[in-house]
Structure 1
Amino acid sequence: MKPSLQMRQSQHLALTPQLQQSIRLLQLSTLELNREIEQILAQNPLLERDDDPHGAVVRLHNDGSLQPATGDEGFAGGLNGTSPGDDSGGPVGDPFAADPGGTPGAEAQAAGVDGAEAMDGSGLELAHAWSLEGGGRGSGDDPDDDRGKEHAATTGTSLREHLMQQLAGARCTARDRALVELLVDELEEDGYLRTDLAEVAAALPAELEVDPDELRTALRLLHSLDPAGVGARSVPECLLLQLPQAGQRLGASPRTVETARRIVEQHLDLLAARDFGKLLKLLRCDEQALRDARQLIQSLDPKPGNRFAQHSPFFVVPDVVVRRTREGWRAFLNPEVIPRLRVNDLYARILKNQRAPAAPRVAADAAATDNRTASTNSLSSQLQEARWLVKNVQQRFETILRVSQEIVDRQNAFFSHGAVAMRPLVLREIAEAVGLHESTISRVTTQKYMLTPYGTLELKYFFGSHVATESGGAASSTAIRALIKQLIDEEDSTQPLSDSRIAEVLGEQGIVVARRTVAKYREALKLPPVSQRKAL
């Protein structure tokens, strides 16, 4: 065959750099988006933030007085001369109060204001409400959650530091103190000593002549330290170490403490299985005594070291907030997650002036001219990238808002009545409504969160499969799970509902589901089976 040249025409889809960046930004979470923007800001001098990342921080004047945060100053005088709560008639800080003024920002968009500025303005009042309410949910205000308070009180001090502080004041020999420190170093994060004492002794140098009896003495000294139960080698031992102090703290009778001790030592598996009938026979006690002993055991902490574990809390900031207005439930972007970006005007003007035709130069200046041309081309490329990023970020939030509003319109009953009113919804329905592809809707709803009257939920939560009903309709799997949880929450603890009985109750309401389907939904809700829900 002879080499030859051929020309063929074909069509193929090519993704431009701008489109690739738009797709990548759309699938990023809020945290990942901020990281991406910070990285681009460090690389592109023509891009800058138009907002102050530290605007919500209280500043200190030169004279020592406090300067209020930027957000507080903006809302101190109210919005347009009125207080933030005047136009709603509801309490300040309620993001779900009715808004008789309609949709905020609609006038700005109708007047032709830029989309990003209109979105920023639509959430000003909501930003005040979010700043007041955002930290209140799930902050551990339950007065019964004593363990959470203990954890909060000890945050910043590790378990080892806490034990070393007590050991420094203990009356013991230097050798015993060194052995206790050795055992403390062997403790795991939950406070258990899972290394055998013989292994610890074998790992020590032979010239120290440490025998297991000395280690057992050091272990008893470790058991006397706070928190009670630290250094235990098993769950029963941990609970037994805490029983005396717990009995005194709760004012339990010696009989109750002794019954609890017998349960922990011999029948802890029966208590976990809630086999109360067998426990009553083995312990030879009445139901009240067993109930008191069980309550005493439940007050113990099976992992005493966890309260000292320093885990960074994970906070979810919603991208969209849903509020009730005169027109119904409406979705608004959370202004706190919208980065305000702009192109540096000074650099843009310089580049514009350098593009103007210049006078002819001599040959000696040719090299300098070439260098300036290369610099200008580089900056022009960065200018184009900055404009792309500003446009793509704006388009990202506009798409999120469109999809969120469509979800709110289709799941309107959920926001008024809860999860039991959730209807079946698939990605294809939203894609057809907003004119986007299903893959785009999948990117929008992944790791994007919505603040609702029932908590902060991922947009994926509103999508679910359907289950046929006797009337020929369909019920959402999310609504069925909510019904199962409601039935279990309202059941008689002495006679809990089995999975078969729950399936029968749902069938009476027209929802036909099998027993195994109920079991699958119950396990997804992390609810125990009927045998573990039974109480005395």
Structure 2
Amino acid sequence: MEHRLAQTQTQKLILVPQFRQFLTLLQLPVFELEQKIEQELTQNPVLEEVPTNDQEEISTEPELLNESPAKEDRVSDTLQMIESYNGNLNDQEFSTDFSERDPLEAQRKRDYQQSSLTKPPTLSDYLEWQLGILELSSMDKTTAQEIIGNINDDGRLVASVEELVHAIGQDAKEIEKVLTRIQSLDPPGVGGRSLQETLLIQLRKQEDSNLAQTILEHHFDLFKRKDFHALGRALHTTAPVVKAAYEQITRLEPKPGRIFYHEKPQCVIPDAKISMAPDREEEFTIEMNQESVRELRISPMYRQILRNKGTDKKTLSFIRERIQSGLDLIRALAQRKSTIRLITEELLRAQLDFFTKGFSHLKPLRLKDVAQRIKLHESTVSRAIHGKYVETPQGTIPYKSFFSTKLVSENGTVESQKSVMEVVKRLVEHEDKAKPLTDAKLVELLQKEGIKIARRTVAKYRDVLKILPAHLRKKS
């Protein structure tokens, strides 16, 4: 066998530390970001909070570190890297009286705030949000919604394929295909129909898991009995090797939805505020949250120490290192702020009717489309909106609410979930109280309005709207 040396060219993504820091901060909601800033202030002595009304710039900082302007430009221009970032990293005075002009809209706003806006996200919320990123046909999207509606809080699918076929009228093979897409979503293992399948879904995403997969697929009973010797004989290997595979399996999550269990509501702090401009109807202003997210600077005292010619080299080296670390953090915070503002500006442009007229005018948006318009990578937008809120004339709203799951009507127009729920609510409000509309009848009426939807999905929307089943709404 002949051995030869050869040169090859490969492309490899390398993230500089500054960009990694930017991505980390971008994901954090305001509450966690404040904790991170507090931690940095404690650990880095050269950092301090900018005093109120102090507008001092940091443009003179590079000369403190003897950096050339070109190097400073390279470091501070990290946002340009986002465009070439390929997304391979795994991937989170405010009110007006406008809505009060319409009592129904005001009630919708209160219902929405009470029912969902201040609650932590559920597993169903998270899956629906990811669903908006998948490229699915309208029929497959409906199937996916039906599947998600039958996934319990543990992350387990509780409906059989046969039941889904009956509910949707879709072919079993097509349902299995969509289910496979759902099972590829986060958290790993979601959508499994049994403990065995839940664990297998997770193993298939891991390296060096062939033996563990074989144990689960073909020897699940022996696995449950912890019969390592019998497994060793069946697999023609030793008990210690089997035990190692067993331990790999036991490190998996039997209840993938567990991470969405919540005991108490989370603190909701908006990253931005969208408000109507005074005395200018249908004009809005955007303000970033300055009160909760403190601005930082390099301490003037340490600047003076750095300029002092009598400072020893060891101290100078330490201070330069701390200043560089502080500047990286300040830039990353500024980039986080500008990125979220950029997204907020695009949402304001795209959802102007919602901000002026209310929830019934909320349009479905795709992450991909918004990312393209503001020239950022889709994964960056995904990180930027995850777990974050914006204060608007319609209430405090999760950013992800603007990226609603879509339903396609018969005439080809796109309806958002919230728009369809508005129709369901209207139909129930005007029903004959002696003969209330069943879910099947609601499906029929929605179809007459050109909206194709499954009965199970209508039932889910009815639950969200806190509308009782037909037999409990009946009045004699």
Give the TM-score of the pair, scaled to structure 1: 0.46
Q: Cα offset for 1:518?
A: 1.4
Asked if 1:393 is matched to 2:333, the reply is yes
**1:477 CA drift (Å):** 2.0
> Aligned runs of 1:132-531 on 2, under 5 Å?
314-325=266-277, 326=280, 328-354=283-309, 372-531=312-471
- Which deviates more from structure 2 when the two are superposed, residues 500-509 or residues 404-413? 500-509
- Do 1:318 and 1:450's aligned partners in 2 also have CA atoms closer than 8 Å? yes
| Residue-by-residue CA offset, 1:262-319 (whole Å, 9 max, x unaligned) | xxxxxxxxxxxxxxxxxxxxxxxxxxxxxxxxxxxxxxxxxxxxxxxxx977542222
Determine the structure 1 residue equivalent to 2:156.
Answer: none
Distance change (3 Å), C-alpha of 1:384 and 1:490:
farther
User: 1:493: Cα distance to partner?
Assistant: 4.3
Q: Could you say if the C-alpha distance between residues 94 and 374 of structure 1 is closer, same or farther in structure 2, counting changes exceeding 3 Å?
A: closer
> Quick one: structure 1 residues 8 and 475, their matched pair in 2 at CA, closer, same or farther if it must change by over 3 Å?
closer
Partner of 2:102: none
Give 1:521 deviation, angstroms. Answer: 2.5
Deviation at 1:446, TM superposition (A): 0.9
Give how far 1:407 is off: 1.2
Tell me how far apart the structure 2 counterparts of residues 526 and 434 of structure 1 sit (CA, whole Å).
Answer: 37
* In structure 2, C-alpha distance between the alignment counterparts of 1:4 and 1:444, rounded to whole Å: 48
Secondary structure at the aligned position of 1:377 is classed as: helix
Partner of 2:35: 35
- Cα displacement (A) at 1:21: 0.6
Q: What amino acid does structure 1 have at the position aligned with 2:289?
A: N
* 1:412 CA displacement: 1.6
Query: C-alpha distance in 1, partners of 2:475/2:316?
Result: 77
Residue 22 of structure 1 pairs with residue 22 of structure 2: yes
Alpha-carbon distance between aligned partners in 1 of 2:3 and 2:290, rounded to the nearest angstrom = 63
Specify the SS of the correspondent of 1:513.
Answer: coil
Distance in 2 (CA, whole Å) between partners of 1:375 and 1:9 is 43
Deviation, structure 1 residue 474: 1.5
**1:459 deviation in Å?**
0.3
How far has the Cα of 1:396 moved from its partner? 0.8
Q: Distance in 2 between matches of 1:394 and 1:96?
A: 29
Structure 1 runs (4+) greater than 6 angstroms displaced: 1-8
For 2:21 and 2:414, locate their aligned partners in 1 and report how far apart those are by CA, in whole Å: 39
| 8 A contact 1:47–1:343 mirrored in 2 | yes
Measure, in 2, the Cα distance between the counterparts of 1:462 and 1:498: 30
How far did residue 485 of structure 1 move?
A: 3.0
Name stretches of at least 5 consecutive residues in structure 1 with no aligned partner: 53-92, 99-136, 142-310, 359-368
**Residues 391 and 466 from structure 1, CA distance in 2 versus in 1: closer, same or farther, beyond 3 angstroms?**
same
CA distance in 2 between partners of 1:336 and 1:399 (Å): 18
The Cα shift of 1:381 comes to: 1.0
Classify the secondary structure of the residue corresponding to 2:275: strand
Structure 1 residues 94 and 492, CA, compared in 2 at 3 Å: closer, same or farther?
A: farther
Residues 276 and 393, structure 2, Cα contact 8 Å, conserved in 1: no
Alpha-carbon distance between aligned partners in 1 of 2:353 and 2:307, rounded to the nearest angstrom: 54
For the residues of structure 2 that align with 1:503 and 1:416, how far apart are their CA atoms? Answer: 30
How far off is 1:334 after superposition? 2.9
Distance 2:461 2:470 in 1: 14
Q: Secondary structure of 1:336's match?
A: coil
CA contact (8 A) 2:94 2:391 kept: no
Q: Do 1:29 and 1:447's aligned partners in 2 also have CA atoms closer than 8 Å?
A: yes
Structure 1 CA distance, aligned partners of 2:382 and 2:446? 31
Q: Distance in 1 between matches of 2:298 and 2:467?
A: 53
CA drift at 1:337: 2.5
Identical counterparts, % of pairs: 36
- Structure 1 residues 382, 494: CA separation in 2 closer, same or farther (over 3 Å shift)? farther
Q: Residue 241 of structure 1 aligns with which residue? A: none
For residues 427 and 42 of structure 2, the distance between their equivalents in structure 1, rounded to whole angstroms, comes to 55
* Structure 2: distance between partners of 1:313 and 1:8: 54
Task: Give the Å deviation of 1:2.
Answer: 12
Q: Assess if the C-alpha contact under 8 Å between 1:329 and 1:412 holds in 2.
A: no
Q: Give 2:46's aligned residue.
A: 46
User: Does the residue aligned with 2:407 lie in a helix, a strand or coil?
Assistant: strand
Structure 2: any 5+ residue segments left out of the alignment?
53-92, 99-109, 115-262
Q: How many residues align?
A: 273
Relative contact order (alpha carbons < 8 A, sep ≥ 6): 1 or 2 greater? 2
User: Deviation digits for residues 394-452 of structure 1, max 9, x if unmatched?
Assistant: 11111111101211211222122322222221100110011111111111111110112
Alignment CA distance shift 1:373-1:6 (3 Å): farther
RMSD: 3.2
State whether residues 420 and 483 of structure 1, in contact with CA within 8 Å, keep that contact through their aligned partners in structure 2.
no
- Give the partner amino acid of 1:335: Q
**Which residue identity does 2:455 align to in structure 1?**
R
Following superposition, the deviation at residue 324 of structure 1 comes to 2.2
2:355 and 2:392 in contact (8 A); partners too: yes
CA distance in structure 1 between the aligned counterparts of 2:393 and 2:287, rounded to whole angstroms: 14
- State the distance in 1 between where 2:94 and 2:25 align: 31
Native 8 Å contact 1:330 1:405 kept in 2:
no
Cα separation, 2, equivalents of 1:336 and 1:23 = 22
Give the deviation of 1:4 after TM superposition: 10
Larger Rg: 1
The 3 A distance-change label for structure 1 pair 492 and 353 is farther
Per the alignment, do residues 466 and 5 of structure 1 end up closer, same or farther by CA in structure 2, a change over 3 Å counting?
closer
User: What is the distance in 2 between the residues matched to 1:407 and 1:512?
Assistant: 27
